[in-house]
Amino acid sequence: MKKTKLFLSAVCFLLILPTLARAEWFLDVYGGESATRGANVNAEATYYNIFGSSSQNHTEKVDLDSSFTMGGRLGYWSEKLPWLGVSLDLSYFKAEGEKAEFDVVPLSLLLMLRWPLFKSENFPKGKLQPYAGVGPGYCFTDSRVNFRPTLQDSASGSSGEIGFDVRTGLAWQFHKHWAIFGEYRYSDVKIDFRQEDFLAIISGSEESIKTHLKTNHYLAGISYRF
């Protein structure tokens, strides 16, 4: 909870900061492929009744198929330091295998750097702009794991995690307000989901899912500068 409050405070700071100085705002929309590495997935379930409790625990390496990524990014470049910027990035990707499936929605706060190339009177920030971004992300995850018959039941649920996001790309500004870009992104998120379900004091269950998703994203998009 403390990490979540810290992240939300940083987002508020991002939105307030441009009022203190001039800024070149940008809005990006992108899509592409996500490739998540195979991961060790742990599922645990404990069942309670008036006679006691019993537990089941299983860890298995799950191969995850390539899927798609889509998202958008709002940010700005400083006018005084045109190579420095910040952005707020919201995206979605899926990591899915035969026995496990994860839907991930990262909200990332990124420190952005760029190198303006081929400057001119019409393009004072450069027509070609290599760039990079790095920062923390708050990831909303929806997890589903089915290790039956090794485990009695499948497990599923939603959770929020703090992750890590790094990316690099190349933008080509072909118009005063428009640019296209290609981007590579690496995201890292540890999922640690746990929930309880009790029926009065007669019976109940507690289940958990743990894994570590490391994902490569290959993206293309369009950017509006204003």
Higher pLDDT, 67 or 16: 67
CA–CA dist 195, 150 (Å, integer) = 20
pLDDT mean across residues, the chain: 88
Q: Express each pLDDT in 111-161 by its tens digit.
A: 999 999 999 999 999 999 999 999 999 999 999 999 998 888 888 989 998
State the pLDDT at residue 154: 87
- 156 and 115 in contact (C-beta within 8 Å)? no
CA–CA dist 23, 17 (Å, integer) = 10
Higher pLDDT, 206 or 210: 210
pLDDT > 70: percent of the chain: 88
User: Quick one: DSSP state of residue 175?
Assistant: S
State the pLDDT at residue 15: 53
Domains of the chain: 2-225 (2.40.160.20)
* DSSP class per residue in 10-53: HHHHHHHGGGGS-EEEEEEEEEEEEEEPPEEEEEEEEEEETTEE
User: Quick one: DSSP state of residue 117?
Assistant: B
| pLDDT at residue 23 tops 90 | no
For residue 128, the surrounding DSSP H or E stretch is strand 128-145
| pLDDT at residue 209 tops 90 | yes
Q: Give the distance, in angstroms, between the CA of residue 153 and the centroid of all CA atoms in the same chain.
A: 28
State the pLDDT at residue 100: 95
Structure tokens at 137: 């992300």
The stretch 14-25 carries a mean pLDDT of 62
State the pLDDT at residue 3: 52
Higher pLDDT, 28 or 80: 28
Structure tokens at 160: 């929020």
The stretch 204-218 carries a mean pLDDT of 92
